[in-house]
Structure 1
Amino acid sequence: MDSLQLATTYLQSDLQGRYITNEDILPLIKLLNNRFKINLEGKSVLDKPIYSVRFGIGKIKVFAWSQMHGNESTTTKALFDFFNYLASNETLAENWYTSFTFLSIPILNPDGAVAYTRVNANQIDLNRDAFDITQPESKLLRRIYEEFEPDYCFNLHDQRTIFGTEMNDLPASVSFLAPAFDETRAFNETRHKAIAIINAMNSNLASFIPNQIGRFDDSFNINCIGDYLTYRNTPTILFEAGHYKEDYQRDEVRKFIFCALWSGFQAINENVIVSNNLEDYLNISQNSKCFYDFLYKNVRIIDNSQEKLINFAAQFTEILKDGAIHFEAYIVQIENLEGYVGHYEFDAEGGVFNANYGNKPKLGEKANFSIDDRIKFINGIQYQQL
Structure 2
Amino acid sequence: MYNATMTDHSLYKERSVQNRYITLETLETCLKKRPAASSKILGKSVQGEPLYAFTLGKGETRILMWSQMHGNESTTTKAVWDMVNYLESSEGLAILEICTLMIVPMLNPDGAKAYTRVNANEVDLNRDAQELTQPESQALRDLFEKFKPDYCFNLHDQRTLFSVGQSANVATVSFLSPASNQEREVTPSREVAMKLIVAMNETLQRMIPEQVGRYDDGFNANCVGDTFQMLNVPTILFEAGHSPKDYMRENTREYIFHALIKALTTISKGEIENYSTSDYFKIPENGKLFYDILVHDPQVLNPDLAPGISLGIRFKEVLDGNRILFKPELGDMGKLDGFYGHETVNCLNQKDLELLSGRDEILDFIKNVGK
Query: TM-score when scaled to structure 1?
Result: 0.88
1:30 has 2:12 as partner: no
> What is the 5 A alignment of 1:331-342?
331-342=330-341
- Tell me the equivalent position of 2:367: none
- Tell me the equivalent position of 1:53: 54
Q: Distance in 2 between matches of 1:18 and 1:82?
A: 18
Q: Distance in 2 between matches of 1:147 and 1:6?
A: 35
SS at match of 2:26: helix
- Please say if residues 165 and 172 of structure 1, whose CA atoms lie closer than 8 Å, have aligned partners that are also in contact: yes
- Tell me the equivalent position of 2:217: 218
Q: Distance in 1 between matches of 2:22 and 2:52?
A: 14
SS at match of 1:85: helix
Deviations along 1:327-385, one digit per CA (max 9) or x if unpaired, are 1112332114121100000112278xxxxxxxxxxxxxxxxxx969x967423379xxx
- Please say if residues 109 and 137 of structure 1, whose CA atoms lie closer than 8 Å, have aligned partners that are also in contact: yes
- Please say if residues 196 and 275 of structure 2, whose CA atoms lie closer than 8 Å, have aligned partners that are also in contact: no
Q: Distance in 2 between matches of 1:306 and 1:280?
A: 46
Q: Which amino acid in the other structure matches residue 15 of structure 2?
A: S
Deviations along 1:272-311, one digit per CA (max 9) or x if unpaired, are 2338722100000111111000001133369998962321
Deviations along 1:232-251, one digit per CA (max 9) or x if unpaired, are 10000000000001000011
- Please say if residues 291 and 340 of structure 1, whose CA atoms lie closer than 8 Å, have aligned partners that are also in contact: yes
- Please say if residues 314 and 380 of structure 1, whose CA atoms lie closer than 8 Å, have aligned partners that are also in contact: no
Q: Distance in 2 between matches of 1:302 and 1:100?
A: 59
1:378 has 2:331 as partner: no
Q: Which amino acid in the other structure matches residue 321 of structure 2?
A: D
More displaced, 277-286 or 67-76?
277-286
- Please say if residues 4 and 256 of structure 1, whose CA atoms lie closer than 8 Å, have aligned partners that are also in contact: no
- Please say if residues 298 and 311 of structure 1, whose CA atoms lie closer than 8 Å, have aligned partners that are also in contact: yes
Q: Distance in 2 between matches of 1:75 and 1:304?
A: 44
Name the CA shift for 1:326/1:376 in 2 (closer, same or farther; >3 Å). Answer: closer
> What is the 5 A alignment of 1:269-288?
269-274=268-273, 277-288=276-287
- Please say if residues 198 and 277 of structure 2, whose CA atoms lie closer than 8 Å, have aligned partners that are also in contact: no
1:294 has 2:276 as partner: no
Q: Which amino acid in the other structure matches residue 288 of structure 2?
A: K
- Tell me the equivalent position of 1:174: 173
SS at match of 1:349: coil
> Which structure: greater helix fraction?
2
Q: Which amino acid in the other structure matches residue 167 of structure 2?
A: N
- Tell me the equivalent position of 1:140: 139
Q: Distance in 2 between matches of 1:3 and 1:381?
A: 46
Structure 1 vs Structure 2: percent identity of aligned residues?
A: 41
Deviations along 1:198-238, one digit per CA (max 9) or x if unpaired, are 00000001000000000000000001000000011000000
SS at match of 2:17: coil
CA shift at 1:172, angstroms? 0.5
Unaligned runs of 5+ in 1: 352-369
- Tell me the equivalent position of 2:118: 119
Q: Distance in 2 between matches of 1:328 and 1:306?
A: 21
Q: Distance in 2 between matches of 1:148 and 1:164?
A: 36
> Which structure: greater strand fraction?
1
Unaligned runs of 5+ in 2: 365-371
Q: Distance in 2 between matches of 1:321 and 1:302?
A: 29
- Tell me the equivalent position of 1:99: 98
Q: Distance in 1 between matches of 2:330 and 2:148?
A: 48
- Please say if residues 291 and 331 of structure 2, whose CA atoms lie closer than 8 Å, have aligned partners that are also in contact: no
- Please say if residues 292 and 343 of structure 1, whose CA atoms lie closer than 8 Å, have aligned partners that are also in contact: yes
Q: Distance in 1 between matches of 2:301 and 2:267?
A: 60
Q: Which amino acid in the other structure matches residue 272 of structure 1?
A: E
- Please say if residues 203 and 259 of structure 2, whose CA atoms lie closer than 8 Å, have aligned partners that are also in contact: yes
Q: Distance in 1 between matches of 2:333 and 2:309?
A: 8
SS at match of 1:51: strand
- Please say if residues 32 and 87 of structure 1, whose CA atoms lie closer than 8 Å, have aligned partners that are also in contact: no
- Tell me the equivalent position of 1:78: 79
- Please say if residues 294 and 380 of structure 1, whose CA atoms lie closer than 8 Å, have aligned partners that are also in contact: no
Q: Of 11, 25, 33, which residue of structure 1 is paired with 2:13?
A: 11
SS at match of 2:250: coil
CA shift at 1:6, angstroms? 2.6
Name the CA shift for 1:141/1:303 in 2 (closer, same or farther; >3 Å). Answer: closer
Q: Distance in 2 between matches of 1:3 and 1:85?
A: 15
- Tell me the equivalent position of 1:188: 187
Q: Distance in 2 between matches of 1:320 and 1:232?
A: 37
- Please say if residues 72 and 112 of structure 2, whose CA atoms lie closer than 8 Å, have aligned partners that are also in contact: yes
Q: Which amino acid in the other structure matches residue 178 of structure 1?
A: S
Aligned residues: 360
- Please say if residues 301 and 307 of structure 1, whose CA atoms lie closer than 8 Å, have aligned partners that are also in contact: no
Q: Distance in 2 between matches of 1:344 and 1:301?
A: 18
1:128 has 2:130 as partner: no
Q: Which amino acid in the other structure matches residue 69 of structure 1?
A: H
Q: Distance in 2 between matches of 1:45 and 1:190?
A: 33
Q: Which amino acid in the other structure matches residue 214 of structure 2?
A: R
Name the CA shift for 1:304/1:164 in 2 (closer, same or farther; >3 Å). Answer: closer
Deviations along 1:180-207, one digit per CA (max 9) or x if unpaired, are 0000001011111101110000000100
SS at match of 2:15: coil
